[in-house]
Homo-oligomer: A and B are copies of this chain.
Amino acid sequence: MDENRLRGIFTPNLVPLDARGEIAEPELRRYVDWLIDRGVHGLYPNGSTGEFTRFTADERKWIVEIIADQCRGRVPILAGAAEANVRETLSACEHYADLGVRAVAIVAPFYYKLSPRSVYAYFKEIGDHTPVDVTLYNIPMFASPIDVPTVQRLSDECERIVAIKDSSGDLPHMIRMIQAVGPNRPDFAFLTGWDAALMPMLLIGCDGGTNASSGVVPELMRKLYDLTLSLKLDEARRLQYDLVRLFDTMIYSAEFPEGFRAAVELRGFRMGTGRQPLSAEQQVDLATLSRTLQCLLAEHGFTDEPVGGCPAGEGEDVSPLEVNEIVLNVVSELKRRGLM
């Protein structure tokens, strides 16, 4: 049973768009191949990184169809299946089951902030009727929180609920979940969605991660995973530190997930025009951010430095300090706003 457990790095993939904002199928297919070639263990369409709320129900289905078709079983697929209500969500589950996905991932209801009892009732209804394995998706920053007693109860009652993806980044919370669920469900998987804590999360018992950064630097996230599991901790720590810097820059310097879109563009994909409009000022900022990201990616040899060079870029040890300071300030700001 344990062998079947979800494990490793699942990439919550972005969706390339064309100039009119439509799904760019050929580029999406090329991106899927590129990710698999670089070692990610699975794909995760229709996650928060994949901007599932900005697509229509039909588009969400089409995205999974493209990915399943392109993937052809090379790696497992975790398909985001949250729709407007339980019935629509179950209908999506059925469709994705037919496409052969390994499991679906379902975010807790959002907009309304539901109580634990309602979150339980929602997932219980789904867990009892789903034709495919379900991963709970806890992202309290955006959706109703799925608390530990709820995870415990659902894992006890619903065999089809087989994993949780937790994006809170809260280590003790993860420990509590593993303590509460693990003894009764050795097959249950714990995945972290918080890239900046992947190494310590794996060390305290997580099975893997669904990390937006793995859509940008799949090689590095896979390497961090491997280094940590083989207990090469000094190397792993250095890489985790580097990834915090990259992750912070991508996530806090622009409206999510624009920073990730800009970075994937630097890796050679045409991401097109995003669906959330940007003000003129934001577009300028995004161009600046892209230059910064190019420097960070160049440090690892993934791109050339931008024309004009990087702020302090004589090598890996010298970080673009000014940029870093700005990012740190933004991070502090967001923490104060309660958005982190």
Q: Please state if B152 and A328 are interface contacts (CB–CB under 8 Å).
A: yes
Across the interface, name the chain B residue whose C-beta is closest to A116: B332
A280 to B, closest residue via Cβ: B121
Contact in complex: B142, A112 (CB < 8 Å): yes
Give the A interface residue count (CB, 8 A).
84
- Interface check A248, CB cutoff 8 A: yes
Shortest beta-carbon distance, A239 to chain B, in Å? 12
Query: What are the interface flags for A274-296 relative to B under an 8 Å C-beta threshold, 1 for contact and 0 otherwise?
Result: 01111101100000000000000
Assembly CA distance A232 to B245 (angstroms)? 29
Asked if A56 is at the interface of the complex by the 8 Å CB criterion, the answer is yes
Instruction: Select A328's contact among B84, B143, B180, beta carbons within 8 Å.
Output: B180
- Collect the chain B residues with CB atoms within 8 Å of residue A203's CB: 199-200, 203, 233, 237
A141 CB contact (under 8 Å) in B87, B113, B148? B113
The answer to whether the Cβ of A255 comes within 8 Å of any Cβ in the partner chain is yes
Known: A118-B255, A125-B277, A328-B149. A338 touches B335 (CB 8 A): no
Task: Please tell me which stretch of A2-10, A65-73, A168-176, A305-313 contacts chain B, meaning at least 4 of its Cβ atoms lie within 8 angstroms of it.
Answer: A168-176
Residues of chain B contacted by A86 (CB below 8 angstroms): 275, 277
Residues in B whose Cβ lies below 8 Å from that of A200: 171, 200-201, 203-204
The smallest C-beta distance from A237 to any residue of chain B, in angstroms, reads: 6
Q: Are A240 and B56 in contact (CB under 8 A)?
A: no
A→B interface (CB under 8 Å) = 21, 48, 53-57, 84-88, 109-118, 120-122, 124-125, 140-143, 145, 147-150, 152, 169-173, 175-176, 178-180, 194, 196-197, 199-201, 203-205, 231, 233, 237, 240-241, 244-245, 248, 255-256, 275-279, 281-282, 324-325, 328-329, 331-332, 335-339
Which 6 pairs show the lowest CB-CB distances between chains A and B?
A147-B332, A172-B196, A200-B200, A121-B277, A121-B279, A85-B275
Q: What would be 27 A-B contacts, judged by CB atoms less than 8 Å apart? A: A53-B110, A110-B110, A111-B111, A111-B142, A114-B255, A114-B276, A117-B281, A117-B282, A118-B278, A121-B282, A122-B276, A145-B335, A147-B329, A147-B331, A148-B328, A149-B325, A171-B200, A172-B196, A172-B244, A173-B335, A176-B244, A180-B328, A200-B200, A204-B240, A231-B233, A337-B337, A337-B338
